[in-house]
Amino acid sequence: MESHSTRAILIERLGPPEVLREREVPLPVLGSRDVHIRVRAAGVNFADLLMRAGLYGTVPRRPYSPGFEVSGEIAAVGSDVEGWRPGDRAAALLRHGGYARDVVMPARQAIPYPTSLSPVQAAAIPVVFLTARVALFEAARTRPGETALVLGAGGGVGTAAVQLAVQHGMRVFGTAGTPAKRAYVVEELGATACFDSRGDWEADVRRAAGPRGVDTALDAQGGPATTACRRLLAPLGRLVFYGLSEAMPGRRRSWLRAAWAWARTARIHPLALVEPNTGLFGIHLLHLGGREEAVLVPALKDIYGSVASGALKAVVDRTFPLDRDGAVAAHHFLHARQNLGKVVLAATD
């Protein structure tokens, strides 16, 4: 008989990683158009850390489980569901709730993933590759032969963005904080160059790109980095902004630090875009005005196919157990900014 509860890792109060708790929680009733996925792996993203610290904008009422992406197998299907049956491999992009052993969701949001991929690989793909793809090709409309700058090129979205840009015939520059990350971005992912994010990377990019600058810059950092990206844009260049990691450099929330990051991030008047012929775009995967399924589901199917064929790769740095201790350790690991690619929670039974 199907269980009507599951184990979930919850944000019950705000604070450092240790505030996470694991509880038995009720599962939503399986609707006629829903599927029940037994979770084998869940991706961990920097936004999860912001949620836990109270610095993320759109969240449900506490307690709730963070987690935007899962993979596993179908445990049950609603009476009106076609194309899915128990035992099928499935991945999903969620608004929240991924840090759990089970999720119930509309069947139209579930996506099959190739048998050649492990659950950990499948869970490492949705958020980072979709963010990178939407930023590069839906927002910035980049084209072959153009030049892209990817801040944080050694992170989850960064490693995905570098791969997609290189695959589409772009010249790619990145920034990263350690020599090992910078070497990986160039030697393994194909970037033209990757510069020290803790040094004078603006000058480095300027010298490498030439006086014209870059056509697209992807910025999830904010603060002075946003202004530097704007200065580097070529005529008709586009800056895509999708995060403010400057607001949370440590394990705990600091309103003073968050406010300082906010204050140091450029306020841009539309007239300031006219003379330099530049554009600014902001993206959030889960706020596409009802277009999420039309845009994201086909894109994710295509991405899974490219990973299965070897054209792209899921860059997974480390896995932790899908339990409270594992989630705490994963959050600490991301706070340390040492990850190369993705961090994933994996079920151990």
pLDDT tens figures, 68-116: 999 999 999 999 999 999 999 999 999 999 999 999 999 999 999 999 9
Give the confidence band of 48 by pLDDT, cuts at 50, 70, 90.
very high
The model's pTM is 0.92
C-beta of residue 137 within 8 angstroms of C-beta of residue 299: no
Q: Which residue has the higher pLDDT, 196 or 267?
A: 196
Query: Among 124-128, 214-218, 260-264, where is mean pLDDT lowest?
Result: 260-264
pLDDT at 222: 80
Confidence of residue 308 (pLDDT cuts 50, 70, 90): very high
Average pLDDT over residues 246-262: 56
How would you classify the pairing of strands 110-111 and 89-93?
antiparallel
pLDDT of residue 253: 56
Phi-psi group of 54: left, alpha or beta (phi > 0 → left; psi -120 to 50 → alpha; rest → beta): left
pLDDT score, position 293: 75
The answer to whether residue 260 scores a pLDDT higher than 60 is no
pLDDT on residue 101: 97
For the cut 60, the answer to whether the pLDDT of residue 14 exceeds it is yes
Q: Are 280 and 88 in contact (CB under 8 A)?
A: no
User: Which residues lie closer than 8 Å to 82 by C-beta, 6 or more apart?
Assistant: none
Q: What is the pLDDT of residue 30?
A: 96
**What confidence tens digit (pLDDT) does each residue in 107-165 have?**
999 999 999 999 999 999 999 999 999 999 999 999 999 999 999 999 999 999 999 99
Q: How confident is the model at residue 261 (pLDDT cuts 50, 70, 90)?
A: low
**224 φ/ψ sector (left φ>0, alpha ψ -120 to 50, else beta):** alpha
CA distances in angstroms from 81 to 85, 102, 138, 143, listed in the order given: 9, 18, 31, 39
Q: How much of the chain exceeds pLDDT 70, in percent?
A: 92
- Residue 34 has φ and ψ, to the nearest 5°, of -105, 165
What's the confidence (pLDDT) of residue 247?
57
Tell me what the mean pLDDT of segment 161-172 comes to: 97
What pLDDT does residue 270 have? 81
Unique residue bearing structure tokens 């895509």:
240
The correct CATH number of 129-282 out of 3.40.50.720, 3.60.15.10, 3.40.50.10860, 3.90.550.10 is 3.40.50.720
Residue 4 is predicted with a pLDDT of: 85
In tens, the pLDDT along 180-212 reads 999 999 999 999 999 999 999 999 999 999 989
Q: Give the residue from 211, 177, 175 showing the smallest Cα distance to 192.
A: 175
Q: Could you state, in order of their start, the residue ranges of all structural domains in the chain?
A: 5-125+287-346, 129-282
Q: Would you say residue 259 has pLDDT above 80?
A: no
Q: d(Cα 175, Cα 181) in Å, to the nearest integer?
A: 9
Cis ω for the linkage preceding 106 (within 30 of 0): no
CATH classification for the domain delimited by 5-125+287-346, as one of 3.90.180.10, 3.30.310.50, 3.40.190.290, 3.40.50.1000: 3.90.180.10
Contact assessment for residue 301 and residue 157, using Cβ atoms and an 8 Å cutoff = no
194 three-state secondary structure: strand
- Number of helices (H) and strands (E) in the chain: give both, helices first: 10, 15
The overall average pLDDT reported for the chain is: 91
What percentage of the chain has pLDDT greater than the value 90?
Answer: 76
Q: Is pLDDT above 50 for 1?
A: no
